[in-house]
Structure 1
Amino acid sequence: MLEAKDLAVEFSSRGRRARAVDGVNLSVGPGEIVALVGESGCGKTTLARTLLGLVRPTSGTVSYDGSPLTYRSKALKAYRRQVQLVLQDPMGSLNPRQTVYEAVAEGPRIHGLADEEQVVASALARAGLRPPERFFLRYPHELSGGQRQRVVIAGALALDPKVLIADEPVASLDASVRGEILALLLRLRDELGLSALVVTHDLGLAWNIADRVAVMYLGRIVESGPTEEVLKAPQHPYTQALLSVLPESPARIVLSGEPPDPTRIPTGCRFHPRCQVVAAGNPIASKCRSDLLPVLPATADPQSACHLTPKLLG
């Protein structure tokens, strides 16, 4: 349904070029949920915005249903009816002066859909706000956090999209309602055949909702594959470090060095300055510092961009 091929996005910063996305191949199949995980600053949100057509790539292509995305206004308008965004902060993404009805009706009005009231009621009902008419005249401050996030999801569903891109969809919610929103996303996948790319730093969320996981570091996918295989037997040292912070992990891995700087991509493996394997003096460390790794392809098979796992390289 949605695919990034050799995608790169660069920004100018005080005379330097920041490679926020640096050669990404990623696909989301029909009815599939893919989790894009990584720490803050790794390029997840920039990649999501590029997939939505909000940022034009420096190179590479975004394709929907096999056709490359073009950036003419008419084409983008049609594309955004099929691929919708769900933001992490419903209080920030909802206009406090708009009622729930107005918030959900905005998309259908822009796209000129008929039977507006029926469309809004159906979207709210599918998002779990029933009876929908009871919420029409309410304002965001009158709703709970979970209800506000359901309104945001309803606003996306009102256009009958095929793909949702959800950026940290439960990060701002209490633990008690996170499970309800995740269950809603799974139900929408099962009932409507929706595909979804879920951007998150929470590996527990990825475990509960995703069919596949893609781990991103410094603008590039460093490991991907079926969720159970990646999270039960991670091959890349970065994935192992991310998983080590979970409560059930036997030992925590503390990464050395500074968080990645997209204006200064290291030579060799881009993770080597912080890698616990290199820090431990592994014999392969010199190769990690000097030898470039290939960009991973968009595939459902397990793969890792690491000199320690050459058999898994794309």
Structure 2
Amino acid sequence: MSARPPAPRGPDTTAPVLSATGLEVAFTGRAVRGTARAVDGVDLQIRPGEIVALVGESGCGKSTLARALLGLVRPSAGKVAFHGRGLVYRPRELKAFRERVQLVLQDPSGALNPRHTVYDAVAEGRRIHRGSTADEQEHVAEALSRAGLRPPERFLLRYPHELSGGQRQRVAIAGALILHPEVVVADEPVASLDASVRGEILQLLLRLRDDYGLAALVVTHDLGLAWNIADRAAVMYLGRVVETGTVEEVLSQPRHPYTRALLSVLPESGAREQQILAGEPPDPTRIPGGCRFHVRCPVLASGRAEAAGVAERCRTEDPGELGAFGPARVACHWAHAHKAGRAGKAGKEQRAG
């Protein structure tokens, strides 16, 4: 893949600003036959000034996890913590929490009221949390400037239909920034934008991180986006995080067959051939036994798991959940067997030498 900009930091041991521990979100109801485990035992951390990419196919649980981290969905089990304190699901506490953790939606056209001016759209969040104040216009102008809409006076009285897609997304970001949050959760922030303006929005998020220490969780199906913006990546499949680590570890040396398949379709990945995943992700009300990816796994289908002696474990033994701490991690029997095999081979060669 193409070279990334130099990382601004080394390994970060700072306490997380926002975290999930053993998080589960399950849905039941008339529209769901049985219980759908949309999020099924996820640990995740976001540290101050860090951008984490949450990557996976549509329907894997990314957006549900993001909503749970925002307190918009109450977990069935586990907990969400802000600066180490568990989230309290009462209106007053949630209101205070959402002032400091803000959401940026995928479609700014849907997020912005077409009858509201840019001024009103940006000021809305501040009015909800702090009421109207004499210095409101100053704060709106500052937020627009931070979002890259300069001079802000040019945009205050415009309506969403008078703006380009990139400008509307910047207005949505300014609406989050006016409250000076510590964390932004951006759900597919550039998916609805033309390729020509995607880079501008990504550069804006990077600048906000570097200049203001803003942390972000970027939810995306686009691994190229993750490569260009994230410090760490978490790959999600069927409600679980199956691989996590720094973005270089996960995307330059992917170990889980699912991550490898997602990367193989990117022209810049350097993969010898694309790995087409068979079928669709299983129904979350009927999660397969064993490794939940085994029914679509190209490594199992090709016989490589059999050769490594783990095929039966793939079909019958759950590789478990990934903890949020420590170095790169992967939930895959074959990846661990493959690593052990390579280590054993290297040891034999060293002794022979």
- If the length of structure 2 is used for normalisation, what is the TM-score? 0.87
Q: Secondary structure at the match of 1:260?
A: coil
2:220 corresponds, among 190, 200, 224, to: 200
1:305 corresponds, among 303, 313, 331, to: 331
Q: Say whether 1:78 aligns with 2:96.
A: yes
Where structure 1 has 5 or more consecutive residues not aligned to the other structure, the ranges are none
Question: Do the aligned partners of 2:33 and 2:285 also contact (CA within 8 Å) in 1?
Answer: no
Q: Secondary structure at the match of 2:130?
A: coil
2:53 corresponds, among 35, 40, 45, to: 35
Q: Could you tell me how far apart the structure 1 residues matched to 2:327 and 2:208 are? A: 25
Q: Could you tell me how far apart the structure 2 residues matched to 1:218 and 1:61 are? A: 19
Q: Say whether 1:148 aligns with 2:148.
A: no
1:250 corresponds, among 269, 272, 277, to: 272
Matching residue's letter, 1:60 = G
Question: Do the aligned partners of 2:282 and 2:288 also contact (CA within 8 Å) in 1?
Answer: no
Q: Say whether 1:125 aligns with 2:148.
A: no
Question: Do the aligned partners of 1:35 and 1:206 also contact (CA within 8 Å) in 2?
Answer: yes
Who is 1:290 aligned against? 316
Who is 2:10 aligned against? none
2:86 corresponds, among 49, 68, 72, to: 68
Q: Could you tell me how far apart the structure 1 residues matched to 2:72 and 2:280 are? A: 30
Matching residue's letter, 1:307 = H
Who is 2:122 aligned against? 104
2:258 corresponds, among 238, 261, 286, to: 238
Q: How does 1:181-220 map to 2 (within 5 A)?
A: 181-220=201-240
Q: Could you tell me how far apart the structure 1 residues matched to 2:33 and 2:145 are? A: 50
Matching residue's letter, 2:250 = V
280-289 or 169-178: bigger deviation? 280-289
Q: Could you tell me how far apart the structure 1 residues matched to 2:332 and 2:142 are? A: 47
Q: Could you tell me how far apart the structure 2 residues matched to 1:258 and 1:169 are? A: 25
- Alignment deviations for residues 140-195 of structure 1 (CA, whole Å, 9 cap, x no partner): 00000100000000000000000000000000000000000000000000111000
Provide the aligned C-alpha RMSD in A. 1.3
Q: Could you tell me how far apart the structure 1 residues matched to 2:281 and 2:321 are? A: 21
Q: Could you tell me how far apart the structure 2 residues matched to 1:8 and 1:286 are? A: 27
Q: CA deviation at 1:310?
A: 2.9
Question: Do the aligned partners of 1:83 and 1:161 also contact (CA within 8 Å) in 2?
Answer: yes
2:177 corresponds, among 131, 139, 157, to: 157
Q: Could you tell me how far apart the structure 1 residues matched to 2:234 and 2:326 are? A: 10
Q: Could you tell me how far apart the structure 1 residues matched to 2:272 and 2:107 are? A: 33
Matching residue's letter, 1:268 = G
Q: Secondary structure at the match of 2:315?
A: helix
98-107 or 11-20: bigger deviation? 11-20
Q: CA deviation at 1:85?
A: 0.3
Question: Do the aligned partners of 1:212 and 1:300 also contact (CA within 8 Å) in 2?
Answer: no
Instruction: Report which of the two structures shows the higher radius of gyration computed on alpha carbons.
Output: 2
Q: Could you tell me how far apart the structure 2 residues matched to 1:299 and 1:36 are? A: 16
Q: Secondary structure at the match of 2:333?
A: coil
- Alignment deviations for residues 5-52 of structure 1 (CA, whole Å, 9 cap, x no partner): 000000014441000000000000010000000000000000000000
Where structure 2 has 5 or more consecutive residues not aligned to the other structure, the ranges are 1-16, 341-353
Matching residue's letter, 2:289 = T
Question: Do the aligned partners of 2:149 and 2:155 also contact (CA within 8 Å) in 1?
Answer: yes
Alignment: residue pair count: 313
300-309 or 118-127: bigger deviation? 300-309
- If the length of structure 1 is used for normalisation, what is the TM-score? 0.97
Matching residue's letter, 1:200 = T
Q: Could you tell me how far apart the structure 2 residues matched to 1:260 and 1:201 are? A: 18
Q: Could you tell me how far apart the structure 2 residues matched to 1:59 and 1:142 are? A: 45
Q: Could you tell me how far apart the structure 2 residues matched to 1:14 and 1:204 are? A: 33
Who is 1:139 aligned against? 159
Q: Could you tell me how far apart the structure 1 residues matched to 2:182 and 2:205 are? A: 13
Q: How does 1:169-188 map to 2 (within 5 A)?
A: 169-188=189-208
